[in-house]
Structure 1
Amino acid sequence: MPLTHEAKGVFPIAPTPFLDNGEIDYQSIDRMVAFYLECGSTGLTVLGQLGEAPKLEFSESLDVARRVIERAGQLPVVVGVSAPGFASMRALTQEVMGLGAAGVMIAPPNTLRTDDQVFNYYHQAIEAIGSDVPFVIQDYPLTFSVQMAPAVIRRIVNELPSCVMLKHEDWPGLEKISTLRQYERDATMRPISILCGNNGLFLDYELERGADGANTGYSFPDMLCDIVRMKADGQVEAAHDLFDAHLPLLRYEQQPGVGLAVRKYVMMRRGIISYAAQRRPASPMSGRAQGEVDNLLRRLARHDPRARVAAHP
């Protein structure tokens, strides 16, 4: 089924598992997708910013997307297709949609500075990939250095009907969510799904501001699913308590440059993937950092028993 503006819940950003020799670890992909299904994910995103997509050959990108889509069953899969040029974006989009992807995610290049430039970029991108392909705006100014004001997001949503979701990663960004939802209440912007990233650092309050869920890659996506479910069930204080217990690890994993190494290490300790390997160029964790993460896991295990599986004996 194609992605729609009604998407809710948790769409984990899946890392790309590698063997220690740098080859794609397809068995870990299978196990990882099975874990996402079991923990209550409502969708998946592959080949995102922390999926090491730029390190993959075109054929490898297709292989990863195909494998995830096949294993995901009825779960919608969004594929990151951001690229320096529209020709490669169009080619990858056509291929993954043919494989059964639900939609694509597009991040802006870091050269954009004005609202008009941002809008024109997305307008041209949709001309390239086709207006029949549902797409997600990735709003991540801390990485892409592109500031998207709520008004320009509204313009994209209103003038490009195939825009169905915002991956919200602005920081601070709570007021942006409130503004966008007010646009919807005022009927000046059509409804869209808002799923949040930033490793889930602000998910507890983002949900209270009107976000529909999470679209991020934290090493405990099952916790993110719990938070979304508990909030929806009215278990607000319990959700905050669970979130607070994970916050030190969330913060550690969000560090620029080392976050993916931490995420893969914890996912390996949990048995979700077999290796913590990244494809070069990469920034592996030091022994000191591994010790710090193990300590965070031991402390987390006092409140969430799922962390006991991950900690060293």
Structure 2
Amino acid sequence: MEQEKKGFIPVMLTPFKDNGDIDYEILTQLTEMYLQAGASGLFANCLSSEMFELTDEERLQVIKHVINVVNGAIPVVATGTFGGPITKQADFVKRVHDTGTAAVIAITSLLADENEAVAVLNDRVFELIDQTPGIPLGFYECPVPYKRLLSPQQLTDFVATGRVIYHKDTCLDINLVKQKLEAGKVNPAFGLYDAYMAHAVDSLKAGSAGLSCIQGNFFPEMIVWLCNNYADIALQQEVAMVQQFLIDNMDVMHNVYPLVAKYYLTKRGLKISTTTRRDVGNFSPAIRNQIENLYSDYTHLQSSVGIKNYL
């Protein structure tokens, strides 16, 4: 049986100049890198984009720029909720949708406070849906300001409205992912994209629509390769090698992220500054050495598996 087509949706970085301004020239090159690597969509204006450090106008400008570069080749989704009354959030969702996004993403932890009940979140989601008629929506279980997971039943109820087509999952639990995948049965247009690479292969085999992970900001072509080949019987040894590589290097890529991702991309030839607006901590010599080793280890893995480099 032919495997179901899976997709990689990068969580995009925002390049900054050394003075902190957005570097649109490098943003163009970064977008083209994702395209050349084979991404099936892009998630602009997300946590990796340092969305909380951007103004509303910068958020919209970044999304518009990415959409212009993509020029219809693949869909772009982007975050559209940043707290406050639902009326205010709905207004910005409309502005994000007007840029040409395929779906506008709602942050679960900005729709209800940590101490508010599940019923409160549910009411606000349905209120947001009512106030944004006709706009395709998605969810992102963003860990900032706190992580708020959706239950399988919640996700199913939201997808059943016909308006929710995208979900970026961060539950880190493959059994819970499998339960959430049931939501797709009520709307074939819905896709769950997993962020947790420690169970990437299992998630793809269980029915996830694809992967949406920070690792794609280091080696996007490898995540695309995994989406394309996870079920290929002839490549199971190579698939296992890639999966183990992701597990072994999980912590390295989360240290002072996204600075480390930007530094890694400089080693691949992209002239991106390591400047971040978010305070992510000290890029120590020890962390730098870890990234140097990651680059070396990935180069070896590429050769062993036969993954083409796109930079």
The separation in 2 between residues aligned to 1:209 and 1:143, in whole angstroms, is: 30
Give deviations 1:149-189, integer Å, cap 9, x for gaps.
2111112212x321012211102x211222233465xx6x4
TM-score w.r.t. the length of structure 1 is 0.85
Most deviating of 213-222 and 84-93:
84-93
Matched residue SS, 2:138: strand
Task: Return the offset for 1:233.
Answer: 4.1
Which of the numbers 51, 55, 69 marks the counterpart of 2:53? 55
Show the counterpart of 2:283. 285
Identical pairs, percent: 20
1:55 Cα deviation (Å)? 0.9
Query: 2: distance between equivalents of 1:279 and 1:140?
Result: 18
Which residue number corresponds to residue 125 of structure 1?
128
Report the aligned-residue RMSD.
2.5
Distance 2:278 2:118 in 1: 35
Structure 1: tracts of 5 or more residues without a match: 1-5
Q: Which residue of 1 aligns with 2:159?
A: 157
Mapping for residues 159-178 of structure 1, pairs under 5 Å? 160-171=161-172, 173-178=173-178
Q: Show the counterpart of 1:105.
A: 105
Answering whether residue 239 of structure 2 is matched by residue 249 of structure 1, we say no
Question: CA contact under 8 A between 2:80 and 2:96: conserved in structure 1?
Answer: no
Identify the residue that residue 148 of structure 2 maps to in structure 1: 146
Query: 1:96 is matched by which residue type in structure 2?
Result: V
> Aligned to 1:166, what secondary structure does the other structure show?
strand
Could you tell me whether the CA contact under 8 Å between 1:29 and 1:273 is conserved in 2? no
Compared CA separation, residues 37 and 84, structure 1 to 2 (3 A)? same
Q: State how far apart, in whole Å, the 1-side matches of 2:299 and 2:194 are.
A: 25
Alignment of 1:177-188 (within 5 A): 177-182=177-182
Residues 248 and 296, structure 1, Cα contact 8 Å, conserved in 2: no
Compute the TM-score of the two structures, normalised by the length of structure 2. 0.85
Cross-structure match for 1:190: 187
Amino acid of the residue matched to residue 170 of structure 1? Answer: C
Structure-1 separation of matches of 2:144 and 2:206: 21
For 2:167, what is the secondary structure of its paired residue?
strand
Give, as a single letter, the amino acid of the residue that structure 2 aligns with 1:179: Q
**Rounded Cα–Cα distance in structure 2 between residues aligned with 1:122 and 1:8:** 28
Contact 2:137–2:163 (CA<8 Å) still a contact in 1?
yes
Q: Contact conserved, 2:138 with 2:166, CA < 8 A, in 1?
A: yes
Segments of structure 2 that go 5 or more residues without pairing to the other structure are: none
Counterpart residue number, 2:40: 42
Supply the distance in 1 between the matched residues of 2:243 and 2:88 (Cα, whole angstroms). Answer: 39
For residue 153 of structure 2, what is the amino acid of its counterpart?
Answer: A
Q: Residues 177 and 210 of structure 1 are in contact (CA less than 8 Å); yes or no, is this contact kept in structure 2?
A: no
Q: Separation in 2 of the partners of 1:22 and 1:141? A: 24
- Contact 1:32–1:273 (CA under 8 A) maintained in structure 2: no
Distance 2:88 2:57 in 1: 12
Q: CA deviation at 1:10?
A: 0.7
Q: How far, CA to CA, are the matches of 2:122 and 2:176 in structure 1?
A: 17
